[in-house]
Amino acid sequence: MQAPAAPAPIANWRLWVRAVAWLLLILLGPLALFWTPLHTLALTWAVLMVLALWTFLIAAWIGAMAGVSTPPLTWLECRLRLWVARFALDPETLWLQWARRAHSPVTARWCLDRALLSGGAEARFQEGLYFLEGGFGPGGQATSVECFRQAAARDHAEGAFRLAEALRTGLGSFQPEPAEAEVWYRRAALKGFGPAAAWLARAYQEGDGVPVDEAQARRWALVAEGLLPHPPLSRNLFRHDAAPEDPLVSLGGQTARQLERGAGQLVAHRAGRWALGLVASLLGALALGAVGVVFWAGSSHLYHLPLLMLMPPLLMLGWQAWRLRREGPRQGRDRLREAAERGDPEACFQLGRRHLRGGPHLPKDDLGAALWFRKAAEAGHREAMEALAQAYLGGHGVLRNPQEAARWAEAARRESTS
């Protein structure tokens, strides 16, 4: 009696090569009609593909600028994964493998949901781990118990063990059920899960939830010994220490941090800001020149492609402008807050006064004001000391404390006479 072997990893590159080859055949196959009497259809197909690619690139650019919740590149990645999964012999294992290696929790959850659609026991068990270790509280624990029960009913060995553990300890606000737990421990052990057999041996030896029975203890001890080495318990797919680091994502993160650091150093100097403005102006002039040349060539000779290619970005920019106008103008750069966060005492004091007064874009916040006053006062700002003393004296944003108010008032007096 051996534990069932874990599903073997699927060779991703083979699946991707096969799926992408079929996709390219579907997309580029009609272009072979260029050399046939149906060349008009091939030309129409080529124009449609160019327009689709152009629209997607514009949508990706606008999505990145607008900060949409689902970027177009992520949407395209999900569509490609759906296509590749059609060629897998075991889609559930493939989706779980992708969930483990996903570069974001949102993508990992989406892959897990796709695996659940296959109705397999492993996907249901992984969903139980997700709710058990995801910090969802008693409600999540109760959901995990139900997921483990469904996985155990489909002969998942560790799912039966996890269900037994939950029933024995009363996980998820359930009352402990030692008798039912013992049944599921037995089913897990009989399925070849070593930790379940080891627990049964100890339970019958010590009378933990079951009557003391030396014969049963010896029997299950022999079973547990025959199942050595025992596998470690599975961990949530969403845990960072359970998923291998993606080298491509790591390289991209390092590159983005280096670029951000370089850009910060560049804009910190006036000459750098002028250089960036000059480069942006040159790029804009080149773009306008290219557009002018294309239109000068005549859209009629290019099958009206310039006009057709301009329609998607113009429509998207118009939609984005309408949405921004509906939501109201965005706030510009808050230089006062930036200076305060750098520790400038005067900026901290002025930001505290802004919090104290409130305004159309900043609600009145006595606690925030007191925090900024304290930061400025600790840096030696006399007026901030006086404002902090008033806050402690009247209990504005802080607990009323006459002793602390007197201490800061005395500090402000000494600062004014020094």
Higher pLDDT, 187 or 7: 187
- The confidence band for 349, taking pLDDT boundaries of 50, 70 and 90, is very high
User: What's the pLDDT tens digit per position in 352-398?
Assistant: 998 888 876 678 888 888 999 999 999 889 999 999 988 888 888 88
- What is the pLDDT of the chain when averaged over all its residues? 78
Question: pLDDT value at position 5?
Answer: 46
Among left, alpha and beta (phi > 0; psi -120 to 50; other), residue 298 is: left
Which residue do the tokens 């944003």 mark?
397
Q: Identify the burial level of 193 via C-beta atoms within 10 angstroms of its C-beta, where 0-12 means exposed, 13-18 middle and 19 or more buried.
A: buried
Q: d(Cα 86, Cα 174) in Å, to the nearest integer?
A: 40
- pLDDT recorded at residue 68: 60
Query: Per the structure block, which two tokens stand in for 27?
Result: 């997309």
What residues have CB less than 8 Å from 9, skipping those under 6 apart? 97
Where is pLDDT greater, at 72 or 37?
37
The b/e string for 336-368 (b: 16+ C-beta within 10 A; e otherwise) is ebebbeeebbebbbbbbebbbeeeeeeeebbeb
Give the span between the Cα atoms of 156 and 148, in whole angstroms: 9
Q: Residue 318 above 50 pLDDT? A: yes
What residue type is 370 in one-letter code?
A
Measure the CA–CA gap between 346 and 42, rounded to whole angstroms: 69
Model confidence at 2: pLDDT above 70:
no
The whole-number pLDDT of residue 137 equals: 67
pLDDT one-digit tens code per residue, 267-311? 677 777 788 778 878 877 777 777 666 665 655 555 556 666 677
Q: Please tell me the least confidently modeled range out of 60-69, 96-105, 134-143, 300-309.
A: 300-309
- Give the chain's radius of gyration (CA, Å): 33
Contact assessment for residue 10 and residue 94, using Cβ atoms and an 8 Å cutoff: yes
Residue 175 burial class via C-beta count within 10 angstroms: exposed 0-12, middle 13-18, buried 19 and up: exposed
Confidence of residue 98 (pLDDT cuts 50, 70, 90): confident
Mean pLDDT value of segment 72-87: 82
Q: Which of 114-123, 248-257, 326-335, 345-354 has the lowest mean pLDDT?
A: 326-335
Q: What is the mean pLDDT of residues 177-202?
A: 85
Asked if 12-66+69-226 and 335-417 have one fold, the answer is yes
What is the reported pTM?
Answer: 0.53
Q: What is the CATH number of domain 12-66+69-226?
A: 1.25.40.10
240: pLDDT strictly greater than 60: no
Q: Minimal CA–CA distance to 256: which of 248, 267, 268?
A: 248
| Backbone dihedral angles phi then psi of residue 8, each to the nearest 5 degrees | -70, 140
Angle formed by the axes of helices 105-116 and 91-100, nearest 10°: 160
Question: Per-residue pLDDT averaged across 112-133, rounded?
Answer: 85
| Max CA separation in the chain (angstroms) | 97
Class of domain 335-417 (CATH, top level): mainly alpha
Residue 58's alpha-carbon distances to 6, 181, 285, 331, in angstroms, are: 44, 57, 19, 25
What integer is the mean pLDDT of 8-21?
69
Confidence category of residue 190, pLDDT binned at 50, 70, 90: confident
Q: Where are the domains of the chain?
A: 12-66+69-226, 247-312, 335-417
CA atoms within 13 A on the CB side of 175: 1
- pLDDT score at 8: 47
pLDDT band at 4 (very low <50, low <70, confident <90, very high): very low
- Provide the residue type at 345 as one letter: P
Q: Which ranges constitute the DSSP H helices of 119-246?
A: 121-133, 137-153, 157-169, 178-190, 194-206, 214-226
Does residue 346 register a pLDDT over 50? yes
Q: pLDDT by residue (tens digit) across 19-35?
A: 888 888 888 888 888 88
Question: Which percentage of the chain shows pLDDT scores above 70?
Answer: 80
Find, among 182, 240, 174, the residue nearest to 209 by Cα. 182
- Please identify which residue in the block is written with the tokens 């051996």: 2
What is the per-residue pLDDT for 41? Answer: 86
What pLDDT, on the 0 to 100 scale, is given for residue 385?
92
Q: Which amino acid is at 377?
A: A
pLDDT reading at 152 higher than 60:
yes
